[in-house]
Amino acid sequence: MKHSGALYLIVQISHRKKIMHFLIVACLTTILGSGCRREIEVEVSQPYHGSIEESFTESAKTRLANTYPITMPVTARISRINLEPGDGIVTSQQLAEIDLIPFEQKVIEDKASIAALAAQMAVTDDNSLENSALAELNSTLKAMEELVKAAALQVEAEEARNSHAQKDLERALKLVETHAVSEKEIDNSQLHADTSLIELRKEQFNYAASSALLAATAVGPRAVKEYMDREQLEKRVTEHQLAEAQARLSRAEHELNLASLKSPINGIVLERYQQGDSLLTAGTRLLLLGNLEKLEVIADVLTEDAVQLDLGSLVVFRRASSFQTFTGKVKRIEPAGFTKLSSLGIEQQRVNVIISLNEHPEKLGVGFRLQARFLTGIKNNALIVDRGSIMQHTDRSYYVWKIKNNILLKQTVKLGLKSDLKLEVVDGLTNHDHIVKHPTTMMAEGMRVSVLKN
């Protein structure tokens, strides 16, 4: 029985809803179909002259225009870094100590090597002894050449005497048969021929000995020249070694000069990556420095909004947890856009916009989130209507419901600047017109209206 009662109650309620729905539809059909002039009540507003700002809002984040990473300039042992993030620093302040002894010792060693090679070069350049020996040997060689020439002439003379003695002996021997000469004369001729032959052999020996001595003497200047040529080669080798030693010294001095960790700016420590007091390789990150006075803001905006911005466009910032506002201006619009997914998962083309601050609010640091309102247009004497008064056709044109003699008239309007709550009308209305403040889709042209008083 309880279930039957409940079912009966549900059926009655459903039946009553159907009756009410039928009566409402019938009433509206009767009113609209019969062209009934029943008045509807509306709120009315008037366009007015005032200021309007067109803008769009995006999330933004603070950053530093320039950061200064501090890395190990050389491979070395570093002392402990006592600076903490947030600590202030000044230009040329020592950030940490590097053990300089190995670098200083390397400079000393390279300088000593250069000094030794320079001394060796000086010795190699001193050819006075070799030149003196070469001059003496050349003089001796010339003397020996003259001696050989004299020996050759002496050989020729002895050959002539020997030839003459041999001919005398031959003639004497021919005369022996005729007894024209005595035996003593023949013996003298024989002795003279033998003596001249011995003298010839002696002079020939002297010539051979002089020639051999000349050849031996000629070796001396050649040996000295070869020695001097070898010294020149050694000199060129030493010159290359000296150049290499000077290059090593330059590198050692450069590394010694690099082995310094001093602040390049007045600012603060943003991050510390190493504690120090250890051996670190060149390029190891130590600190990140920055200057909070060089704070700027970056925001990624839709590319269709970015085309409305110019360099110097005004931007109004507000912190998420505060109503305090401060301003900046567009410093740079990056040339390359990128694709980003919106919170609804829709792909959007965006571009980064960099904004410089006109003021520096207290307690504003690096990486702080902000709301950035970009002003794309400002007009001080614009004809303004409330955004809720404007309606849109299917062709994306705009219109309002204007009231004339309590009759609704559809008036097409052309809009200018747009803000969140207000719109500028540049054509279609005057400040003397009356329009429906909150139009609905049920309104039709020719309807009679009565104005509600505020």
pLDDT in tens, 336-345: 999 999 888 8
Whether 265 maps to a domain, the answer reads: yes
For the cut 60, the answer to whether the pLDDT of residue 34 exceeds it is no
Residues 3-30, mean pLDDT to the nearest whole number = 46
The mean-pLDDT minimum among 45-54, 90-99, 314-323, 333-342 falls in 314-323
Query: Residue 433: inside a domain, yes or no?
Result: no
Residue 11 lies in a domain: no
Please check the confidence at residue 122 and state whether its pLDDT lies above 90. Answer: no
pTM exceeds 0.75: no
Residue pLDDT, tens place only, 356-382: 999 888 888 888 999 999 998 889 999
277 and 164 belong to one structural domain: no
Whether residues 330 and 348 fall in one domain: yes
**Per-residue pLDDT for 215 more than 60?**
yes
The residue among 289, 306, 331 that closes a domain is 289
Distance CA 409, CA 166 (A): 165
pLDDT-derived band at 329 (thresholds 50, 70, 90) equals very high
| Contact between residue 71 and residue 285 where contact means Cβ atoms under 8 Å apart | yes
pLDDT of residue 313: 93
Both 201 and 224 in a single domain? yes
276 and 325 part of one domain: no
Q: What per-residue confidence (pLDDT) applies to 9?
A: 43
Q: Does some domain include residue 430?
A: no
Q: Are residues 116 and 254 in the same domain?
A: yes
Encoded amino acid at 85, one letter: P
Give the total number of structural domains in the chain: 3
CATH number of the domain within which 94 lies? 2.40.50.100
The whole-angstrom separation of Cα 288 and Cα 387 is 49
Do 87 and 165 reside in the same domain of the chain? no
Residue % of the chain over a pLDDT of 90: 48
Domain shared by 61 and 130, yes or no: no
Q: With cut-offs at 50, 70 and 90, classify the pLDDT of residue 70.
A: very high
Other Cβ atoms closer than 10 A to 381: 9
The better pLDDT of the pair 132, 56 is held by 56
Residues 120 and 198 in one domain: yes
In a domain, 8, yes or no: no
Does pLDDT of 20 surpass 60?
Answer: no
Selected residue with higher pLDDT from 299 and 361: 299
Check pLDDT > 60 for residue 383: yes
Same domain, 318 and 199: no
Residue of higher predicted confidence among 22 and 262: 262
pLDDT in tens, 103-117: 999 999 999 999 998
Q: What is the CATH number of the domain that holds 249?
A: 1.10.287.620
Q: Is residue 19 part of a domain?
A: no
Same-domain pairing of 195 and 306: no
Give pLDDT tens digits for 232-248: 788 888 888 899 999 99
Domain of residue 334, CATH code: 2.40.30.170
331 pLDDT above the threshold of 90: yes
Asked whether residue 15 is domain-assigned, the answer is no
**Residue-averaged pLDDT of the chain:** 84
**Residue 6 forms part of a structural domain:** no
User: Which domain range does residue 271 map to?
Assistant: 67-98+261-289
Task: Please state the rounded mean pLDDT for residues 199-219.
Answer: 82
Residue partners of 327: CB distance under 8 A and separation at least 6: 314, 315, 316, 317, 357, 358, 359
| Beta carbons within 8 Å of 157's beta carbon, 6+ residues apart | 203
Same domain, 187 and 247: yes
Last residue of a domain, one of 317, 344, 378: 378
> pLDDT digits over 162-171, tens only?
888 888 777 7
Q: Which of residues 132 and 443 earns the better pLDDT score?
A: 443
Q: Do 61 and 71 share a domain, yes or no?
A: no
pLDDT the model gives residue 245? 92
* Last residue of one domain, picked from the residues 378, 404, 430: 378
